[in-house]
Amino acid sequence: MTTERSRFQDLINSQLTHYFPEERDRYWLSRALIEDSPYTLDSEEYSGWLDKAIIQLNSGVPIQYVTGISHFFGRTFFVTPDTLIPRPETEELVDLALNWLKTKQTPPTILDVGTGSGNIAISLAAALSITKMIVWDISKEALEVASKNAGRHQVNLELRCSDALDKGSWHVLPSLDLIISNPPYISESERSSLGADVLAYEPHQALFAEGSDPLIFYRTIALQGRQVLKSEGRIFVECSTFTAQETKTIFEENGYCNVVLYQDLQGLDRIVEATNPG
């Protein structure tokens, strides 16, 4: 099998050289095409799948959509063009929330707003022995992917096709210990900062907030969170580095205490934590 792997690595490397001149890029792409393929190297289907996969890559399709697999927080997740590709900075969001959750003496009740592939919720649920995990997404297709990932990792999710901007969605929630979210937060003015592959292939509904207010989801989470969070309950949200200070201010103006803005590993403002005073 090692010889077979080397043969395919050489083949992949040669066919990606034109569009991916950096050897490091080709190494990681070839590794993904071998390790994350839906077929084993010795199967009849692999060669045909690989030919199509290389055409897709050379056309700009992200590798995660080519293989249908994304790596996140030490686990693999199914992804489709109906879900965002999990980002490394979101692992930092999960890590911060998990560190707080581990201090809880009773099983927590958690809401993940805009779950997508379910990577945040599943990573938290898999690390905690007992939890009630409610996940929302407005996309039924995304919820199907999240359900598939929950089965893959053997965790229980309470999947709800809900619009976070609809106040009625919040009225039927139980008391929560934690709200966590990586909501749509990119403004039209930031569109030019995104890569062409992101704009071409990732779901815009999960990237861009509706209307003229890119912070509408934070305003809604802050407002409704005061009603559904337990005393000392927490909110952890990922945000744009361009509007991080504004996001922090939203939670402060809604009466939260101990509002903290964290930087990601690149030194960019990225995550806000807020505590409900009760």
CATH code, 230: 3.40.50.150
Categorize the per-residue pLDDT at 203 as very low, low, confident or very high, splitting at 50, 70 and 90: confident
Residue 198 pLDDT greater than 70, yes or no: no
Shared-domain flag, residues 85 and 48: no
Tell me which of 14, 36, 67 is where a domain ends: 67
Task: Say yes or no: 269 and 222 in one domain.
Answer: yes
One domain, residues 116 and 238: yes
What is the pLDDT averaged over residues 171-178? 97
**51 and 122, same domain (yes or no):** no
| Percent of the chain scoring above 70 in pLDDT | 93
In this structure, are 30 and 97 located in the same domain?
A: no
Q: How far apart are CA 261 and CA 270, in angstroms?
A: 7
pTM of the model: 0.93
Indicate the residue among 12, 38, 67 that finishes a domain.
Answer: 67
Confidence of residue 197 (pLDDT cuts 50, 70, 90): confident
Q: 135 with 224, same domain?
A: yes
Q: Within this chain, do residues 8 and 48 fall inside the same structural domain, yes or no?
A: yes
Q: Which ranges of 59-136 does DSSP label H, i.e. alpha helix?
A: 63-67, 88-101, 119-127
pLDDT at 3: 81
- Asked whether residue 31 falls in the same domain as residue 138, the answer is no
Q: Check residue 130 and give its pLDDT.
A: 81
Residue 59: CB atoms within 10 Å? 11
The answer to whether residues 164 and 249 belong to one domain is yes
Given 20, 50, 67, the domain boundary residue is 67
Q: Is the pLDDT of residue 190 over 90?
A: no
Q: Please, which pLDDT band fits residue 29 given cuts at 50, 70 and 90?
A: very high
Under 8 Å CB-to-CB from 204, ≥6 apart: which residues?
none
196 and 164 share one domain: yes
Let me know whether 58 and 137 are in one domain: no
At residue 250, does pLDDT exceed 80?
Answer: yes
What pLDDT, on a 0 to 100 scale, did the predictor assign at position 75?
A: 97
Specify the higher pLDDT residue, 75 or 184: 75
Enclosing domain of residue 52 = 2-67
CA angle in degrees (0–180, nearest 5) for 75-78-81: 135
Average pLDDT, the chain: 93
Output the pLDDT for position 212: 73
